[in-house]
Structure 1
């Protein structure tokens, strides 16, 4: 019988250690193999000086809970410091299914954080902040700071019924809107990332950017 291919491959680089996880294996198998690797492999790598670790996931995306499981496992080896995770061609975190609806007002000094896409029924006042790993939709006035894609999702959007933010952030890109928005822009608008800059447009143009959001019934378009 041939020897089974390991689901975890470890390589040394000039920056530290590279852990390559087989994206065709169940995540539970990956965790079990890592546990055995740390417990039964007496390599000096696990007890040496502090070493940076990059975890490559292949085509796999993981949930926040799976990320926590990996970090807890690596924390058993005090010298292994996780610097990041990488998935091929996409963000490593899997977006939670659906969109969560919350109601209320984010007042000055308050910060609302959320995992995934968020629909807020209420206002974000000046000095208030709403932050989500996915997109942010405000059915109310956005007059504070909004940070969408906070874990690095560059496809995230920010939309609001009254669009007068003090600052916008999408992934790692920051934009302070021009003063004229405060007076001339009316109606629901949305912000998105293009060429590493934040652009703002009228909500009816959203479908041109995100055709996957278009709702159709029996061939009829609703936008």
Structure 2
């Protein structure tokens, strides 16, 4: 590494400041240059609080090391670390990510009083009868009749969707959003998908093809099925 290489690069964004830390040098060198740069680039007392994002690149830091970075930034008035991001995952984080992105296929009829709850995406080959309930931290895909309750994005993901071959649910839930039950006299819908309409902040039901145009990430479901 050349003597002129910058170990800490500070960039202003519309959301505050981003500190890019070189991931090819020692941690102690980063701390030293960070203290020097923040001292030179001081913040006036009359400026509002500035949010700081720290980008670690391909570097892993322990909780204590991250706390030290926050402490150095916090010593400068009006600066507060909002998040620290890294390209590196811990083993536990990787296992959690894998668990929450896997597809679990289940073949059964979910009857009244029964609850099926999984992490990741649920592919149910069967019906959800009135009074039955399916819950997933990811998406829910039902190759059958949905007449009970379905809760997708149960861990708070309002980008999840619920799709069913025939949809006339008691209730749909996506993240914290809840839809009302349809009128008793209303007909069910075939090959429909429930999702959160971000504009209106409510659950809508639309043809699956329309939803896929708005949520291209759903294509990854097909790829994972083919590669699984």
User: TM-score, normalised to structure 2's length?
Assistant: 0.56
Structure 1 distance, partners of 2:129, 2:149, is: 9
Is 2:171 aligned against 1:198?
Answer: no
Structure 2 distance, partners of 1:117, 1:134, is: 5
Q: Report Cα offsets for 1:75-107 as digits up to 9, x if no partner.
A: xxxxxxxxxxxxxxxxxx787344221111212
State the match for 2:153 in structure 1.
Answer: 149
Q: How does 1:37-186 map to 2 (within 5 A)?
A: 56=83, 58=85, 65-66=92-93, 96-179=100-183, 183-186=186-189
Contact 2:104 2:121 in 1 (8 A): yes
Contact 1:136 1:157 in 2 (8 A): yes
CA positional deviation for 1:187: 1.3
User: TM-score, normalised to structure 1's length?
Assistant: 0.57
Structure 1 distance, partners of 2:83, 2:164, is: 36
Structure 2 distance, partners of 1:107, 1:63, is: 40
Q: Report Cα offsets for 1:13-40 as digits up to 9, x if no partner.
A: xxxxxxx996637796425858x99xxx
Query: How many residues in Structure 1 have an aligned counterpart in Structure 2?
Result: 161
Secondary structure of 2:212's aligned partner: helix
Structure 1 distance, partners of 2:202, 2:217, is: 22
Structure 2 distance, partners of 1:208, 1:184, is: 25
The unaligned stretches of length 5 or more in structure 1 are: 7-19, 38-54, 70-92, 216-223
The unaligned stretches of length 5 or more in structure 2 are: 1-25, 33-51, 69-81, 221-228
Structure 1 distance, partners of 2:152, 2:106, is: 16
Bigger Rg over Cα: 2
State the match for 1:24 in structure 2.
Answer: 56
Instruction: Give RMSD over aligned pairs.
Output: 4.0
CA positional deviation for 1:136: 0.3
